[in-house]
Structure 1
Amino acid sequence: MKHLVFLLTSLVTGVLLITGCQSTTAGGATGSSRSQFLLISSDEVNQSAATAYKQALGKARSAKVLNTNTNDTKRVQKISKRLIAQVGIFRSDALKWNWEVNVIDSKEVNAYCMPGGKIAVYSGIIRSLNLTDDELAAVIGHEMAHALREHSREQISQQVATEQALSIAGALAGFSSTQQSLAGKAGELFLTLPFSRTMESEADVMGMELMARAGYNPEAAINVWKKMEKLGGSSTPELLSTHPSDSSRIERLQAELPKVMPLYQVALKTQGKTVTSRKK
């Protein structure tokens, strides 16, 4: 019996893998086009994200911590606008997303971008890391990359596959109940499920390319994670609890830097500026 269950589970998983693999983005200069396992539709995930984001803003508004610092809000929105203008290189449909950008006044060292372009930056990360505009662009670009690559959709799809494999009869009949169940609680998953190291690496690299194209020094991305490591100490910042920062991560960014630096140089020439190194 166990052998039969194993065979059926393998069969279901294999079918799901074959039918659900695709890439959500074009590769860009850094080749960010890994084939992904996607079963849930973008519309389902984006709708759930819009609802979850609205609820999060409602809570922040009730607590009187939503966009309370005009300077922070203007700064984050200005940087985000420049980054958003570059998303078409990875996916043209993202240019039409209903992007929203807000700042939450909190000591929490965190930021996120929900599916469909719902951005929130916590003032704690700006203050604690004393972020320059380039470094803030690196943080926002990283989070935007998660949305562009639809990492949340990928995670939910993986959970669907797991549920289906454990409920073989339902899987063979179709996705319906399990799919709807997970899609229904997707909002809870956006802020609780940690991204895998593969996803984090993709967001690092794509985010660095995004900021370079927008005219922000990509070297700042490396500096952000160095600052995060120093800030960690004995207590791990919220952002690091789901965004592992280590020497291999910094090394990967350094290795990809030559691919994106020319993009930064072109952006600066377009803006009539000169290139200067900002390594620290």
Structure 2
Amino acid sequence: MILSLPGLMLKGIRDMWSHPWAQLFTLAGVTLTTFLAGLFVLLLFNVGQEISRQQGQVEFQVYWSKDADQNEVKAQWESLGKWENLEEIQTFTSTQALRELAAEMGRDITPKAAGKSSLPPTALLVFQVPESDPQWTRVLFEKLKNQPEVADVHFNPLQMDAARSWVTASERFIWPLIGLLALASGLLVGNTVKLAQMARRDEIEILRLVGASRTYIRLPLICGGMALGLAGGLLGTGLLKLFQMAARELLLTPPLLMELHFPPLHQAAILVAGPVLAGLLGSWAAIRN
């Protein structure tokens, strides 16, 4: 009986399970490699999300002189709140700064001690850095430093560069590792397809004798390998989703309070499509001769 193209594809999927234990071990291996690759993608995506949230922002700590007039300092705070590109401002008088420090140390301060605070008035400023002006941060630093009664200004000029460098270094190592996992999936599927080919050696020889084409013989084996890759990809991605849901609950509890997001749809689709492609290539490599 001559089978149609869909019939050949279904036959290949059915024939793969003539050795169920081999298929199950291969399926487990493909699922595991997909899950591990998904963990790396999950890590990169969430770190990238966090960096994108902070990308382009710079934080300044501005300290006024201890003997600065408090009314003048408050007037400067009100003026600073209107500066261009300012995202957030937090201000602390000498007394407030002492109370914050004591709270962090787990101590209480007396009203007498609060009135004699030696800490300077402080402001914490967060600015959005314009992408078109790379020198903007340095100019703003000098501008803040030259404000009346300002004693010192602190900021981290390497903050954004360090974030970009981390992402670049991570991608340089993690993506090749994901490629190695995909290669492992292809080898697993290829070995299983080769096993199925050897088990059907007599059937294949008969098909060749009666004039069956290479496509007619190879297509069921290739489809079986792709089906294994698809099943492993779906199971591995499903396990990744379960892991993300469980880890999200854990990370949202104090003191971490971190949000763990599942990768977007196109990245999840790649996690499923990758094992299918590995199954295709592995199957083809196993039966090309």
Q: Fold conserved (TM > 0.5)? A: no
Question: For the pair shown, which has the larger CA radius of gyration, 1 or 2?
Answer: 2
Q: Which has the higher contact order (CA 8 A, sep 6+)?
A: 2
